[in-house]
Structure 1
Amino acid sequence: MKSLFFPHNPSFWFETLRSFGHIAYGGADFGEVVVTTERITVDDYDSWHDEWLATADRVADEGRTALAGGHRVSARDAFLRASNYYRSAEFFLHGDATDPRILHAYDASVRCFRQTAALFTPVVEPVEIPYEDTTLPGYLYRADDSGTARPTVVMFNGFDGTAEEMHFGGAAAAVERGYNVLSFDGPGQPGTRHHHGLVFRPDWENVVGPVLDHALTRPEVDPARIALLGNSMGGLLAPRAAAFDHRLAAVIALDGVYDLGDMAAGALSLDRAEAEWRLRADHDPELDAAVEAAVAASPKIRWLVDQGMYVMGAETPRGVFSTFLEYHLRDGIAQKITCPTLVCSASDDVFFEGQPELLHKHLTCPKTLLEFTGALGADAHCQAGAQRLAFARVYDWLDDVMAETT
């Protein structure tokens, strides 16, 4: 989608489009996004934080005033928008893990979302899911208060998004259609990284397994009709989990990813085989210099490295790209998936171009490739800006799959 703001900084533009997209499910107002964007100094990451924080603070104040006056719907809506704006405020700060602004904005985002959650009918229940020696934070959405066992979508975000953001990224749309939802943050994602220091792991089946164990303790969950949805990098992690855990009735890769190593190699102009040995080498000053040059030249690569060092546990910029080599569905992993799988693809995905098609090609289970194009206004990564269209098509597919399991 053509940039309407920040034409020379694709990272700033995509994050702006991301909030525009969240308007569809109550995560923003058009005018609030526009006036905030107009205040931001181009390419100034501190300005990005300051202006989104100011908008978030103002909208959260609106929510508190509405709640004090007994206006529950107005309070709910304001807190929901403020939660998203606080999320956006801290988005570019992770190059310095000690920056106190990260936790200030993140905690405010969670706090606002939980205030919103309590004002929905039925309420959205915060949950703590047992995981190894800690817990994973998440939310249980119920389609109604009947207690009836229903088809349930377990979902999670990707490389940088929160469980709270999944309200706009699939949860609200699912509940509208009669699904229950269990969303969560896994290791490396904000709810575990910011406060517990957990980083991503490639064997995501060992994350989803405990989440499914928890889901199956809930009487509202129909054990025969559980789908798994992964957003962004979750489009690799969800299929990975489905390859090894066959309790799932369906899996949705939004969008599909087959091999992060391909992305790492492409970003550094290496072929896949060369990337394997050079990125893993103890010393490669020439490649280190190339990575530094890429960071300096590209806002997208700069953010990728900053975020990668923060969430992947990498100690150097080259180490970020090295960790990506571990995240793939090669070596027969994709072929282990047995449940129906939906792979979504965006025609102008600046992060994972060609990856959905690779994943779809290697699947041997019942499979569908769902393509979104610029003519639909849906060609951006994860269909940012076209959430109503995207989730109509995603959940129509899932409705059909679930109907066949009854």
Structure 2
Amino acid sequence: MEPFVFENDAAFWYETLRAFGHIAYGGADFGEVLATARRITEGDYDSWHDEWRATADRVAAEAERSTRPISRRDGFLRASNYYRTAEFFLHGTPSDPRVAGARRLAVECFRRALPHVEPVEIPYEGTTLPGYFYDAGADRTVVMHNGFDGSAEEMHFFGAAAMHERGFNVLTFDGPGQPGPMHREGLVFRPDWENVVGPVLDFLATRVDSDRVALLGTSMGGVLAPRAAAFEPRIKALVAFDGVYDMGEKSVAGFDGDREQAVKLLNAPESPEVDLVFKHLMATDPIMRWACTHGMWVTGTASPREYAAALLDYTVRDGIAERITCPTLVCSAQGDFALQGQPEQLYDHLTCEKTFLEFTEEEGGDAHCQSGAQRLAMARIGDWLEETL
């Protein structure tokens, strides 16, 4: 989808489109998003935060003043998403108090908007993972998680509301590297995601007496969820939204596709020429600037090069995809800026019962994770889950 704001900043445009997309399930209003975007100075992270924070504060204050339950719900739900958006680009300095402040208000507003959705703490390796349980009293459950930069709260707009509306129980959670554990205790990503999903399924078994469980992973979750499904037989259906075969391909691409050379140079004690390349890319490419600053934080790495090396482990290469046995839906966006070609690779390597679902520009669903076409995406994914489970 062509940008109509932030024409020269792909990162700002996509995050604005992401906010627009959440209109579908109550997470935004068109005029609020557009008015906010028009006040922002392109490429300026402080301006981005300040304007989204101003909108969030105004919407939350109006919800607070209202005495009507529906108005309060709608206002707090939109404010939650706007607070999440406000702190999005500040993770290069995660100790910045604006990050924790906006995150706290995003969670608080979400819970005030939806008191019927139960916050849960899932036991995990001496701590807990935060999440939400949407109880439909059903014998089918969709477990879902976000990806590289999204939260369990945001999953309300990326699938939880839609699947609960269809009569599924839904359990959302933040794993290591995702906002809840990162903000609370700095728990960084790990590639062996089956060791995250396993405890989540253990917890689910204490709440639901059924083995009809699907797993849905969004964005980078499109490789994390398949990785978990390859080693976790309790998963009976899998949705990769969108599909990812190998996150490390982005790291390898700069070395003419030579993975062995990439591994060697990225992991070397010193690689000054490679470091200069990353410095140049961050200075000229808005997506790279954001991805490296956020990525270093959530992977616990000290430099863009170390972050790129860490991505090599987030993959279902080397026979992992072939281990998946449950029916799998792989989604793809025709114009995806982040994962072009990845869904096709994942689909080609699957040996299980599988379905490929491409969203096109003509449908308005060609953006990463179908942002801007969430009703369309959830209709197709929901239909597949109902048939499969």
8 A Cα contact 1:151 1:222, kept in partner: no
Match of 2:28 in 1: 28
Q: Secondary structure at the match of 2:89?
A: coil
Match of 1:283 in 2: 270
Aligned length: 389
8 A Cα contact 2:138 2:167, kept in partner: no
CA distance in 1, matches of 2:111, 2:255: 41
Counterparts of 1:29-44 in structure 2, within 5 Å, are 29-44=29-44
Deviation at 1:284, TM superposition (A): 1.2
CA distance in 2, matches of 1:54, 1:202: 37
Matched, 1:95 2:92: yes
Counterparts of 1:184-263 in structure 2, within 5 Å, are 184-218=173-207, 221-263=208-250
Q: Identity over the aligned pairs, expressed in percent?
A: 61
CA distance in 1, matches of 2:172, 2:190: 18
2:380 pairs, out of 386, 393, 401, with 393
Matched, 1:159 2:148: yes
Q: Secondary structure at the match of 1:375?
A: coil
Deviation at 1:165, TM superposition (A): 0.2
CA distance in 2, matches of 1:267, 1:301: 13
2:253 pairs, out of 266, 279, 290, with 266
CA distance in 2, matches of 1:59, 1:207: 35
Q: Identify unmatched segments of 5+ residues in structure 1.
A: none
Deviation at 1:267, TM superposition (A): 5.5
8 A Cα contact 2:138 2:168, kept in partner: no
| Residues 164 and 267 of structure 1, relative CA distance in 2, 3 Å threshold | farther
CA distance in 1, matches of 2:254, 2:218: 21
Deviation at 1:222, TM superposition (A): 4.6
CA distance in 2, matches of 1:130, 1:295: 38
Counterparts of 1:163-174 in structure 2, within 5 Å, are 163-174=152-163
Matched, 1:112 2:109: yes
Q: Secondary structure at the match of 1:306?
A: helix
State the AA in 1 paired with 2:188.
Answer: V
Matched, 1:376 2:363: yes
Q: Secondary structure at the match of 1:2?
A: coil
CA distance in 1, matches of 2:372, 2:204: 31
CA distance in 2, matches of 1:92, 1:150: 40
CA distance in 2, matches of 1:82, 1:341: 34
State the AA in 2 paired with 1:98.
Answer: S
Instruction: List per-residue Cα deviations over 1:218-259 (Å, max 9, x = no partner).
Output: 0xx352210000000000000000000000110100000000
State the AA in 2 paired with 1:392.
Answer: A
8 A Cα contact 1:157 1:185, kept in partner: yes
Deviation at 1:268, TM superposition (A): 6.5
State the AA in 1 paired with 2:319.
Answer: G
Match of 2:18 in 1: 18
| Residues 46 and 60 of structure 1, relative CA distance in 2, 3 Å threshold | same
CA distance in 1, matches of 2:94, 2:257: 29
Q: Secondary structure at the match of 2:163?
A: helix
CA distance in 1, matches of 2:320, 2:30: 42
Match of 1:179 in 2: 168
Divergent runs of 4+, >6 A: none
Deviation at 1:269, TM superposition (A): 5.6
8 A Cα contact 1:152 1:222, kept in partner: no
Deviation at 1:265, TM superposition (A): 2.0
Instruction: List per-residue Cα deviations over 1:297-322 (Å, max 9, x = no partner).
Output: 10100001001111001111101100
Q: Secondary structure at the match of 1:253?
A: strand
Deviation at 1:385, TM superposition (A): 0.2
Q: Identify unmatched segments of 5+ residues in structure 2.
A: none
CA distance in 2, matches of 1:63, 1:142: 26
Matched, 1:330 2:327: no
Match of 2:133 in 1: 140
Q: Secondary structure at the match of 2:210?
A: strand
State the AA in 2 paired with 1:274.
Answer: Q
CA distance in 2, matches of 1:356, 1:196: 32
State the AA in 1 paired with 2:74.
Answer: D
**CA RMSD, aligned part only?**
1.0
8 A Cα contact 2:7 2:13, kept in partner: yes
Matched, 1:294 2:294: no
1:83 pairs, out of 80, 83, 90, with 80
CA distance in 2, matches of 1:280, 1:328: 17
8 A Cα contact 2:143 2:172, kept in partner: yes
CA distance in 1, matches of 2:74, 2:259: 47
Match of 2:64 in 1: 64
Deviation at 1:46, TM superposition (A): 0.3
CA distance in 2, matches of 1:86, 1:271: 41
Instruction: List per-residue Cα deviations over 1:55-81 (Å, max 9, x = no partner).
Output: 000000111111xx2x11110000000
Instruction: List per-residue Cα deviations over 1:153-201 (Å, max 9, x = no partner).
Output: 0000000001000000000000111111000000010000011110000
CA distance in 2, matches of 1:181, 1:103: 27
8 A Cα contact 1:268 1:290, kept in partner: no
Counterparts of 1:40-51 in structure 2, within 5 Å, are 40-51=40-51
